[in-house]
Amino acid sequence: MIHVFNRVSKIFAALFMVFMTVGGSFAQDGEALFKSNCARCHYASDKKLVGPGLAGVRSRWSSEDNLHAWIVNSTDYLKTGDSYATDLFEKFNKSVMPGFPNLKKEEVTAILDYIDKAGAAPAGGGSDSTAVAGGGAGAQGGDSGNTLMYVLIVVILILSVLIYALYKISVSLTELVKQREGDGSTDDRTFLDKAEDCFRASKKWAGENKAIVGVAIFVGLCFVLKLAWDGLMGIGVYQGYQPHQPIKFSHAKHAGELKIACEYCHTGVKESRHATIPSSSTCMNCHKAVSEGPLYGKNEIAKIYASIGFDPNKGAYIDNYNNQDKEQVLAVYEEWLGGDNDAFRAVEQYVQKPIDWVQIHKLPDHAYFNHAQHYRVGGVECQTCHGKVEEMEEVKQFAPLTMGWCINCHRETKVKFEENPYYDKLHDYLAERYKKGDQFTVARIGGLECGKCHY
Amino acid sequence: MKKNYIQIARKGALLIGAAVVVASCSQKDPQSPGFEYMPDMYRSVGYDAYQANPNFANGTTAQNMVDGTMPYQADRSKIYNVLPYPFPNTNEGYEAAGLTLKNPLPYSEANLKQGEVLFQTFCQHCHGAKGMGDGVVGTKNPGLIPPAYNSPQLVSLPEGKIFHSITWGKGMMGAHQYQISKLDRWKLVHYVQSLQKTPAAGGATADSTAKPAADTTAAKKVAMK
């Protein structure tokens, strides 16, 4: 009985093995294996990443065995002196492909099968297949005010034309009636005479209804004075300032959707008075691989490339970029953007130039503010002063940044003494002097002193 | 009496007119910051960090350091941050760093904790919260999926190579030396090493014991050259 059981189990095991090795089950495994082992450096299409695009890789190699040997251990394979492998190694700046000794032969075959299948499909690597509609919500919001104004102007124009036409018609009709009645005496008063009559009549009416006129003037005055007051108080206050930036960088995409921390790009916030604007090299940490975005395609990312000197056609930096011939460099980006089109002209101005981001938050020169002090010592969230930037397509100044606003916050915010090495000494001193549980605002430890910010 | 009334009305009309002018001028356009009160107190006479500067050839105030110099560091405890990094961005440099570079910071609870905070800021969006290569960026961009720290390729990566990779970048990862100071990078190394010890899901830890030896011999070979 046991013997039979063993035999049956053996048959099952054998069947299982056959199923694993021969069956088409590796087709989807190939994809998973490709993604976990190869996708970091290779696209399945003909697009370059760190290494070459793998579409048609089988046909490029002399034999499948050689290709297998190369994949499993490229360093050892190079020693055989295969000319194709050596060329490849030279072409990719002698960067070594890590060995994959843990990949079995069938697994490599499955990966290659997957590449054959995926490489034949037109999709270019996948980074551009995630196209999302509906960018620039902020930009559209900014435009809607203008369109409303245009609509209003057009409506007013149409109405005034209508009123003028009606007036003309009524005038000619009265003329006609008068002529019909055989009055003979045409109205030869000029327009000015008529206006004077009208003015006299309204003056007379105003004289008789002083109360109504008085109230109307008072209400109008209040309304307009309020507008004027707000306008005067807004002088020097940038709140709501939302300028277009040279690159349509979407914080909603990067900080919101991709959950990249604010401090990843604005690194200075921990150490310095400035939160710092990231240099193009920080953009390149990701955009070396992502050359087409889901919102604006190639157009915006190409500006970074033009500024820093990255050739997206070759997937490599241009040597000694700032001293290169400008015509040659321009040709690179013209090729990438598909000719002398609008996108290319927008990119042209950033070739070999820094990107001139528009400053939004501006404190007057006579006020000192330090990001590191607020971020590290105060533990203030970025959003407290900058609003929900991670939801903004286009950054807008959230806070008024007036002195009253600063002072208010210093009056209301409790100092975080706990586990805060910055305040170790001060905390001990205050703890000795005051009762426990007494809350300290920033104002009570000198946060309102003039010299703290103005010196 | 009548004349008086008309005069008041006239003055009122004048005031309204002036107010309308002021109100219309200060209308907020998102493209414009609005009026500035005393721009000479607003704008610095000296050049600000990000201002355009005609005195330099490339037109910016922020300049790269002169070759062969290093920044002044007043805080003696952080002097390590400004010392030059001796290993170049080459395969040889990578191997040599793996062989000789050692973490100057002790493996302590405090360093590990700070490393974790740094990791959440600088690494997790690609590498995932626990370094499993499952960050949000990778899910949207297949070109940016890093290997897990406990995968066979990385589980036994020596600390020097981890540091070198953060410094110069590796594969699709960019150089992070401009964003993270050297001591902070070493804190990150501590944390990454703690993540390398995460048990692998597939039970692939078997070859992790065999690999370090092979790795160091390869490194030695390179160093010999």
CATH number at residue B131: 1.10.760
Asked whether residue A344 is assigned to any structural domain, the reply reads no
Q: Is A425 exposed, middle or buried (0-12, 13-18, 19+ CB in 10 A)?
A: exposed
Taking the Cβ of residue A79 and every Cβ of chain B, the question of whether any pair is shorter than 8 Å is answered with no
Q: Does residue B42 fall inside a structural domain?
A: no
Question: Could you tell me which of B166, B20, B199 has the C-alpha nearest to residue B97?
Answer: B166
Q: Do A238 and B34 touch (CB under 8 A)?
A: yes
CA-only gyration radius of chain B, Å: 30
- For B143, the closest of A43, A236, A282 (CB atoms) is A43
Q: Name which of A41, A258, A282 is nearest B172 (Cβ-Cβ).
A: A41
Tell me the Ramachandran region of residue B140: left when phi exceeds 0, alpha when psi lies from -120 to 50, beta otherwise: alpha
Q: Distance from B124 to chain A by nearest Cα, in Å?
A: 8
Please report whether residue A13 resides in a domain: yes
Domain presence at residue A64: yes
* Alpha-carbon gap, residue A297 to A283, rounded angstroms: 16
Do A105 and A8 belong together in one domain?
A: yes
Which of 21-50 (A) contact B at CB < 8 A? 35-36, 39-41, 43, 49-50
- The answer to whether A453 touches A368, Cβ cutoff 8 Å, is yes
Task: Report how many domains make up chain A.
Answer: 3
- Nearest chain B residue to A96 by CA distance is B91
Q: What are phi and psi of B199, to 5 degrees?
A: -60, 135
- Out of B52, B137, B143, the one facing A49 most closely (by C-beta) is B143
Nearest to A262 by CA among A233, A237, A235, A282: A282
Q: Which residues of A427-443 are buried (b: 16+ CB within 10 A; e: fewer)?
A: beebeeeeeeeeebebb
Distance CA A283, CA A289 (A): 11
Q: Do B178 and A279 touch (CB under 8 A)?
A: yes
Is residue B217 less than 8 Å (CB to CB) from chain A?
no
CA-nearest residue to A128 within chain B is B141
What percentage of chain A reaches a pLDDT higher than 90? 23
Query: Chain-wide mean pLDDT for chain A?
Result: 80
Q: Of A100, A120, A140, which one is at a domain's C-terminal end?
A: A120
Asked whether residue A46 is domain-assigned, the answer is yes
Spans of chain B below 50 pLDDT: 203-225
Q: Does residue B44 sit within a domain?
A: no
Is B56 a member of any domain? no
CA distance A311 to A332: 7
Burial class (CB in 10 A: 0-12, 13-18, 19+), A301: buried
**A8-12, A20-24, A430-434, B180-184: which is most confident:** B180-184
Residues of B in contact with A50 (CB under 8 A): 171-172
Q: How many domains does chain B have?
A: 1
Give the model's pLDDT for residue A19: 44
* pLDDT at residue A247, as a whole number: 93
* DSSP tag of A247: S
The CATH number of residue A34's host domain is 1.10.760.10
Cβ(A405)–Cβ(A399) below 8 Å = yes
Q: Does residue B154 lie in a domain region?
A: yes
Would residue A346 count as lying in a domain?
no
Q: Does a structural domain hold residue B22?
A: no
Q: Is residue A161 part of a domain?
A: no
- For A419, the domain range is 402-455
Q: Which of A23-27, A110-114, B81-85 shows the highest mean pLDDT?
A: B81-85
**Within a domain: A166:** no
A213 touches chain B (CB under 8 A): yes
Q: Tell me whether residues A125 and B172 touch, CB distance under 8 A.
A: no
B149 or A437, which is more confident = B149
Name every chain B residue with its beta carbon within 8 A of the beta carbon of A219: none
- Domain-embedded: residue A451: yes
Phi-psi sector, A438: left (phi>0), alpha (psi -120 to 50), beta: beta
End of a domain among A120, A146, A177? A120
Instruction: Write down the pTM of the prediction.
Output: 0.68
Which of A101, A120, A139 is where one domain is finished? A120
Window from A223-227, A308-312, B20-24 with minimum mean pLDDT: B20-24
Q: What average pLDDT score do residues A294-303 get?
A: 89
Touching check for B179 and chain A: CB below 8 Å? yes
Least CB–CB distance from B142: residue in A125, A260, A274: A125
Pairing between β-strand A316-317 and β-strand A310-311 as defined by DSSP bridges: antiparallel
Contact A264 B20 (CB under 8 A): no
A242 interfaces chain B, CB cutoff of 8 Å: yes
Distance CA A406, CA A452 (A): 12
Domain that holds residue B120: 89-200+210-224
A241 touches chain B (CB under 8 A): yes
CA distance A253 to A255: 6
**How many angstroms away from the CA of A2 is the closest CA of chain B?**
32
Nearest-neighbour CA in chain B from A97: distance (Å): 9
Q: How confident is the model at residue A6 (pLDDT cuts 50, 70, 90)?
A: low
A123 pLDDT more than 70: no
Q: In chain A, which residues have their Cβ closer than 8 Å to the Cβ of B169? A: 285
B166 domain-assigned: yes
**Any B CB within 8 A of A398 CB:** no
